Amino acid sequence: MGKQELRYAARVSLDKPAAEQACLHNRWHPDVPPCGTIKNNEVVKIECVDWTGGQIGNNDSADDVKNVDLTRVHYLTGPFEIETAEPGDVLLVEIQDVQPLQDQPWGFTGVFDKSNGGGFLDEIYPKAAKAIWDFEGIFCSSRHIPGVRFAGLIHPGILGCAPSPEILAEWNRREGELISECSHLDRDVALPPQPKNVHAGSASDDIKEKVGREGARTIPGRPEHGGNCDIKNLSRGSKVYLPVHVKGAKFSVGDLHFSQGDGEISFCGAIEMAGVITIKFTVMKDGMAQLGMKSPIYIPGPVEPQFGPGRYIYFEGFSVDEHGKQHYMDTTVAYRQTSLRVIEYLRRYGYDDYQIYLLLSCAPVQGHVAGIVDIPNACTTMGLPMDIFDFDISPGTPAKKMDMGSCAFASN
Amino acid sequence: MGKQELRYAARVSLDKPAAEQACLHNRWHPDVPPCGTIKNNEVVKIECVDWTGGQIGNNDSADDVKNVDLTRVHYLTGPFEIETAEPGDVLLVEIQDVQPLQDQPWGFTGVFDKSNGGGFLDEIYPKAAKAIWDFEGIFCSSRHIPGVRFAGLIHPGILGCAPSPEILAEWNRREGELISECSHLDRDVALPPQPKNVHAGSASDDIKEKVGREGARTIPGRPEHGGNCDIKNLSRGSKVYLPVHVKGAKFSVGDLHFSQGDGEISFCGAIEMAGVITIKFTVMKDGMAQLGMKSPIYIPGPVEPQFGPGRYIYFEGFSVDEHGKQHYMDTTVAYRQTSLRVIEYLRRYGYDDYQIYLLLSCAPVQGHVAGIVDIPNACTTMGLPMDIFDFDISPGTPAKKMDMGSCAFASN
Amino acid sequence: MGKQELRYAARVSLDKPAAEQACLHNRWHPDVPPCGTIKNNEVVKIECVDWTGGQIGNNDSADDVKNVDLTRVHYLTGPFEIETAEPGDVLLVEIQDVQPLQDQPWGFTGVFDKSNGGGFLDEIYPKAAKAIWDFEGIFCSSRHIPGVRFAGLIHPGILGCAPSPEILAEWNRREGELISECSHLDRDVALPPQPKNVHAGSASDDIKEKVGREGARTIPGRPEHGGNCDIKNLSRGSKVYLPVHVKGAKFSVGDLHFSQGDGEISFCGAIEMAGVITIKFTVMKDGMAQLGMKSPIYIPGPVEPQFGPGRYIYFEGFSVDEHGKQHYMDTTVAYRQTSLRVIEYLRRYGYDDYQIYLLLSCAPVQGHVAGIVDIPNACTTMGLPMDIFDFDISPGTPAKKMDMGSCAFASN
Amino acid sequence: MGKQELRYAARVSLDKPAAEQACLHNRWHPDVPPCGTIKNNEVVKIECVDWTGGQIGNNDSADDVKNVDLTRVHYLTGPFEIETAEPGDVLLVEIQDVQPLQDQPWGFTGVFDKSNGGGFLDEIYPKAAKAIWDFEGIFCSSRHIPGVRFAGLIHPGILGCAPSPEILAEWNRREGELISECSHLDRDVALPPQPKNVHAGSASDDIKEKVGREGARTIPGRPEHGGNCDIKNLSRGSKVYLPVHVKGAKFSVGDLHFSQGDGEISFCGAIEMAGVITIKFTVMKDGMAQLGMKSPIYIPGPVEPQFGPGRYIYFEGFSVDEHGKQHYMDTTVAYRQTSLRVIEYLRRYGYDDYQIYLLLSCAPVQGHVAGIVDIPNACTTMGLPMDIFDFDISPGTPAKKMDMGSCAFASN
């Protein structure tokens, strides 16, 4: 008489390579075959592997992070065909819950090596590093970053519907142009389609080859569908409105985060985990026109951790870089400076800079665009919650250096 | 026996030109003479004019905004000599209150003309525009933007201590270099020292001439002292820690805002007002070294308006511009796109784009750096509080076009 | 062109006895003549004296509290005739702001002597006591209770419309019956009409005599109109819906509080002050029937101080009294026990019990009905915000006795 | 190398009678044998049955509620022996998580029949009634109360350590005296020890007989140990400080609630469920003396649902009962009146009174002691969150009667 237990629309195995699981894929392409069908208004559970597909271990070395194979990521679960969805519709995705997998109560935060992925501060912190986080109910703590503990604002880093062929072509055009323009730089500026290690679910060899050749990488997010947006408060209880570009929507989700700070600055910076997400799907017919929508919108859920405004220390940063160079209204430079200010503040307690870099990536820090009009300085702020520390970090209390151990580093 | 009423450290007149008031000045320079002395641990009230010094009127034309003389701004109150403060100290500024002047219960938000100041979206919205806001207690509303009403998170846009001669020289060097590098562009990228309309308080002619020649403009904020940071939650109850660079600190404050949105996107974008700020000053000896401080930090007060996380609609933007060009990790581009997404959403209700542009500048919108590592797309979000509207703007309710009147425009 | 400054519907003088001011009165009666008229949809300012009419001084003795003349209180401002309001309507009162009078930046909290007013814990704490609070912007602190400082959640303790003759008769009937039933007790259980010191505004002698004979005291609040409800979050931004019982509504307001804790346990327990309240009045025709309303309802404003749920210590109390007697589902007994638990906790820091009793009356403590069904024990909780103290009161930190001075007491 | 999965200190079966499971018991008594040992500082999971031990079914009849056998309840899990705990210590219980059992994603709210349990409003609503709630992630909704949906603030209704023999004797003395004093009343005022259906875990027959004869019922909570306190925000993340009265503490927990309103007014009023709770146990040696503790205290967790203060409608109630009788400072009467005011408001939408009675018991309503000193009227408030409804219940929007179906009732 009562409601049935919720159906799993997909289950994953942690014991089997991600590349061999038909409900996973690692490129955006309209031709990846659906791994299942979901009714309009249905609520289902969907399991996800961690985004690296199990490349990172619960240990005290960052060798795995240093050598991570980025051609294989992100492993997303899906795509799912949503009944009645058509191009021009909006898919309303209500996130009823996200949880770690019962038998894997841990996650990781990594800093990529500058030569393999890098991160927001890789000019200054080029080495690979890692922290393992243990989950105890709604809280997490790390043996690699002592003195902190916080409740997760758990969310998917990636969710979206498949691009149409036209949209995919546009992505490849504009990102290809950027790559061409920047070919003189010594760093990757975008990731072009990559046939190596492509996984297209249950696709035939032909389709798989096509997906490898054309398919968009899961890094970065893109305006037309959201995708890898890495938004920290797109969490439990959120209602997300996603544009639909192909028949059946072909929704995919993955990259689950136990917690993330605004910016996810160390790149592999949230607390990455395998888990299960519970979603209700509803199709809004002709929603894109009705909402005047070009990019996804969302309404957060009601349960994010609350510290009170007066329990944050806010740091300011401006678009003058660490070499004294003035940049013109460059919010990215400003946010980098803001991050450095927090590192300088916290290292007074005995933390290594890499520990703080990892922490700011995954703890619930608030990153705000403050002023963006006073030429030439963009100003950004980062709010650091004092209550995640088990000692007093307020500016009024003198800092004492403590033994803070170490995060995991690569072997050399 | 009881406490005395608080002392006014400075009072301003709205009936006298700002340039003739000795407690005001409009350049940052160590030689601007103090207009008063404040004891360590003293609490005082300080009156401020609006930042334009009364150039903008409570009327229905934006001619005044279009023709504003930016060489005259910002008029700050101060500098104040804080007893015992020395270079290397930190000045703790506790903002006990900020209020509009009793007899001027209104403020304004402006969009500058692209050729005279511009703003964050001036490529798209080049015209001058204005909205007048009436204050009713803690709330404000505007005849130029019907349908909205909200409580102010009232704060100073500018506060800081005077630069040392060395810091001032560094500002002029680096901003000068940017100006040189960008001389081919058709827009101002920074504002160099400007003798015209300089106001150096009670300075002698010699000093005034020197301040005009060397003094830093009050646009922009700068990392060494904060200054024009335009941070919306640096409001009532905040504790601000400011680096001290000269003997006596020489603290100045101004540019009071009744409310501001993250980014203050239309430039003259907060609700600008004349008012009075109540501050407690405390000197932390040797505070810069103790706090490892290069830029100001602050702890917000406990009273910011609360809407609940589920009462915001969040919009996403990415670093692909409106011409389809892919930018590399450009958070400024991403935030511009985010702003445009909100404009597109709200125009469905009958608002003119300029009305929305003004509104997003001054209403308590939350601008977050979401993801800043997924090359090549920075992702930012803007949270729009639904409860400031007196009609239902939730995506689940069909939008109806209404007659929304008009903001003020320039005569042609 | 712009909006005018708001009109004062009534101004008070602190230099003139309250009993001589025509815009004040101290009884509820339909015949008290209006002291002014307010239009439907008008916003006005209304000044109020403190509820004792200036009987309590800013000094270090509680003699004035001990000897307070309760026949004179509360002095309310009004009544105001609201145009178009008729019996059966609802008067929507939007509180746009409440502020202390500029030249009286202080307030007081008192414990009445058991023999003259008493309070919630008068069996245990029978002596008169007092604390003076100084206002610094949005914050207050007291020389009589060192170590605490908090932002006010400022509000009127009393507001309501005049009773009809029928309602007034009902009040006198039911309260008279209680007095009769309890005549064997050695304490006042209710306050009957009292001709002594009656103030009926500008009433003629006849009317004044009638008001004295029949008029309801301003202690307590009553369900039919609200009145002296003493609700701590009926603060700035609140919308209050009040039943209208007489033509013109005859609205009165007073007993302004800078801050109050749930229960206002020491009776004169909020931070009592003179001040000015800004209100918008709107008449909802036939509102009582539409809303099914028997007692006032309200929607709080958005700006109450936020500490975060994890910044409160909650204390539990049950309906077993301090003599070990079991009471049946007595929430009043439970809340008294809860209050005592907090006193026991805080006295470990060196506070005198009377200081804590005063503090719990006026600081923003949360008093909740927790469980009210598990016979025979009602359970209530009181949440004490840790952040109002300038030292660490968390249970994990050992308590140290400090010199906490003293509150004001009566001379003997 | 990484942390192990958490240990279950106890598991329950839903397929086996509660009375046959050795890790359950249903009386408070120092001699109930421990069902396991937990180390100081250990984190464990503990499973709990619903408090009735499975007497209530997921169906559309309230016959089971009407005929519930209250001699059998509450089934608690435990007692657990906590290593190193001694009388006088405090047991710090950190609630890391609470979740429903995976395979039982539903709970129930009941109104007991007046003749078998009753409830807060049983004079007015004497019939048995029931609502079944389905869980979808962090949210719940009910086919018996359409139009509402909310996130749970999930918590245990009962937790505490065993009484010492002296404390148990005191409980029996004082509750026995109340029963004697009230023998003339036609309702139960307290529940004396009851041998029938006693369950004492794995106790020998002798011990079981003793526990039946002396053991305290699990209704009500009691000041010395907390127990059945039914506190709605003693939820995930809370730190609870419990007095220890016997060697090993003998901690028990049960009566898990998916959500509860302040007061839990319908008695079986929270959303009752079977589930699993994750707890960290830490012993504070000599904690009772250090904390001056007579009753438990707690600090809530950071994740309670947030609606914003302006999203509540608050209702006022006073200690005048529905027959017009004036009670003296009776907070229980005031809270009953407050509840009735909400029922009157919500019935305008088509809800049956019993549906609302059930809803107010389990939805996150805020019940506050407002004023408790203005003789003779205690004033309480109840805050009803508007955002749990899927239609607009604000007073400004005219109410429309809808078809709201029905809750479950008993067959006659």
What is the 3-class SS of C65-93, one letter each residue? HHCCCHHHCCCEEEEEEECCCCCCCEEEE
Closest-CA distance of chain D to residue C116, Å = 13
Interchain CB distance below 8 Å, D220 and C374: yes
Interchain CB distance below 8 Å, A136 and D103: no
Interchain CB distance below 8 Å, C106 and B3: yes
B3 pLDDT tier (thresholds 50, 70, 90): low
Contacts of A137 in chain D (CB under 8 A): 95-97, 236, 278
State CA B271 to chain mean position distance: 9
Contacts of A307 in chain C (CB under 8 A): 308, 310-311
Closest chain B residue to A326 measured between Cα atoms?
Answer: B174
CA gap D367, B286 in Å, rounded = 49
Closest-CA distance of chain D to residue B306, Å = 5
Of B291, B331, B373, the CB nearest to A264: B373
Question: What are the backbone angles phi and psi of residue B186, rounded to the nearest 5°?
Answer: -95, 20
Give the pLDDT confidence of A235-265 residue by residue, as tens digits: 999 999 999 999 999 999 999 999 999 999 9
What pLDDT is recorded for position B1? Answer: 43
Closest chain A residue to B269 measured between Cα atoms?
Answer: A373
Interchain CB distance below 8 Å, D310 and B307: yes
- Are D362 and D355 in contact by the 8 Å Cβ rule? The answer is no
For residue B2, pLDDT beyond 90: no
Of C306, C310, C392, the CB nearest to A387: C310
Specify the range with the lowest mean pLDDT, choosing from A179-188, A385-394, B193-202, B397-406.
Answer: A179-188
CA gap C240, C94 in Å, rounded = 6
- Is 3.10.20.90 the CATH classification of the domain at B309-403? no
User: Hey, where are the domains in chain C?
Assistant: 7-299, 309-409
Angle in degrees, CA D252, D258, D262, rounded to 5: 90
Contacts of C306 in chain A (CB under 8 A): 306, 308-310
Of C5, C278, C387, the CB nearest to B137: C278
Contacts of D308 in chain C (CB under 8 A): 302
Angle between the N-to-C axes of helices B331-346 and A331-346, in degrees from 0 to 180, rounded to the nearest 10? 120
- Is 2.60.120.580 the CATH classification of the domain at A7-299? yes
Give the pLDDT confidence of D321-341 residue by residue, as tens digits: 999 999 999 999 999 999 999
The closest of D115, C382, C387 to B299, measured between CA atoms, is: C387
Closest-CA distance of chain D to residue C359, Å = 15
For residue C1, pLDDT beyond 90: no
Of C106, C278, C280, the CB nearest to B2: C106
Interchain CB distance below 8 Å, B309 and A304: yes
Which helix or strand (DSSP H or E) is residue A221 part of?
A: strand A221-222
Provide the ipTM: 0.96
For residue B103, pLDDT beyond 90: no
- Are A160 and A252 in contact by the 8 Å Cβ rule? The answer is yes
Residues (pLDDT < 50) of chain A are 1-2
Percent of chain B residues past pLDDT 90, beyond the cut: 97
Closest chain C residue to D326 measured between Cα atoms?
Answer: C174
Average model confidence (pLDDT) across chain B: 96
Cβ-based interface (< 8 Å): residues of D facing A? 1-3, 5-6, 43, 58-60, 95-97, 102-103, 105-106, 132, 134, 136-139, 151, 236-237, 278, 280, 301-307, 387
Contacts of B308 in chain D (CB under 8 A): 306-308, 311, 387
B186 pLDDT tier (thresholds 50, 70, 90): confident
Contacts of D397 (CB under 8 A, 6+ apart): none
Interchain CB distance below 8 Å, C137 and B59: no
HEC string for B263-284? ECCCEEEEEECCEEEEEEEEEE
Angle between the N-to-C axes of helices A331-346 and A353-362, in degrees from 0 to 180, rounded to the nearest 10? 120
Interchain CB distance below 8 Å, C341 and D231: no
Interchain CB distance below 8 Å, B341 and A381: no
Contacts of B184 (CB under 8 A, 6+ apart): none
Contacts of D60 in chain A (CB under 8 A): 1
CA gap D126, A24 in Å, rounded = 56
Domain C309-409, what fold?
Endonuclease I-creI (3.10.28)
The series of mean pLDDT values per 10 residues for chain D, 412 residues long, is 76 96 98 98 97 95 97 97 98 97 94 95 97 96 98 97 98 97 92 97 98 97 97 96 98 98 94 97 97 96 93 97 97 97 98 98 97 95 97 96 97 84
Contacts of D391 in chain B (CB under 8 A): none
Per DSSP, the residues of C246-260 read: STT--EEEEEEES--
Same-fold call for B7-299 versus B309-403:
no
Which helix or strand (DSSP H or E) is residue A345 part of?
A: helix A331-346
State whether the Cα torsion A198-A200-A203-A208 is positive or negative. negative
C4 pLDDT tier (thresholds 50, 70, 90): low
- Are B276 and B45 in contact by the 8 Å Cβ rule? The answer is yes
Of C221, C293, C315, the CB nearest to D371: C221
Interchain CB distance below 8 Å, B320 and A174: yes
Of A306, A310, A392, the CB nearest to C387: A310
Closest chain A residue to B221 measured between Cα atoms?
Answer: A377
Contacts of D298 in chain C (CB under 8 A): 313-314, 316
DSSP class of residue D86? Answer: -
C186 pLDDT tier (thresholds 50, 70, 90): confident
Question: What are the backbone angles phi and psi of residue B10, rounded to the nearest 5°?
Answer: -160, 140
Give the pLDDT confidence of C250-304 residue by residue, as tens digits: 999 999 999 999 999 999 999 999 999 999 999 999 999 999 999 999 999 999 9
What tokens were used for D367?
A: 């019940």
C130 forms bridges with which residues in the sheet?
C110, C408
C2 pLDDT tier (thresholds 50, 70, 90): very low
Of D219, D220, D310, the CB nearest to C301: D310
CA gap B44, B94 in Å, rounded = 11
Contacts of B316 in chain A (CB under 8 A): 221, 223, 226, 229, 231, 295-298
Give the pLDDT confidence of A155-204 residue by residue, as tens digits: 999 999 999 999 999 999 999 999 999 999 988 999 999 999 999 999 99
What pLDDT is recorded for position C25? Answer: 98
Closest-CA distance of chain D to residue B388, Å = 11
The closest of B12, B73, B87 to B244, measured between CA atoms, is: B87
R_g (Cα) of chain C, nearest Å:
21
Angle in degrees, CA C300, C305, C311, rounded to 5: 120
What tokens were used for C242?
A: 């009040």
DSSP class of residue A294? Answer: S
Contacts of B306 in chain D (CB under 8 A): 306, 308-310
Closest chain C residue to A397 measured between Cα atoms?
Answer: C391
What pLDDT is recorded for position D5? Answer: 79
Interchain CB distance below 8 Å, B328 and A178: yes
- Any chains having at least 3 CB pairs less than 8 A from chain A are B, C, D
Residue D87 CB-density burial (10 A; 0-12 exposed, 13-18 middle, 19+ buried): middle
Interchain CB distance below 8 Å, C132 and B2: yes
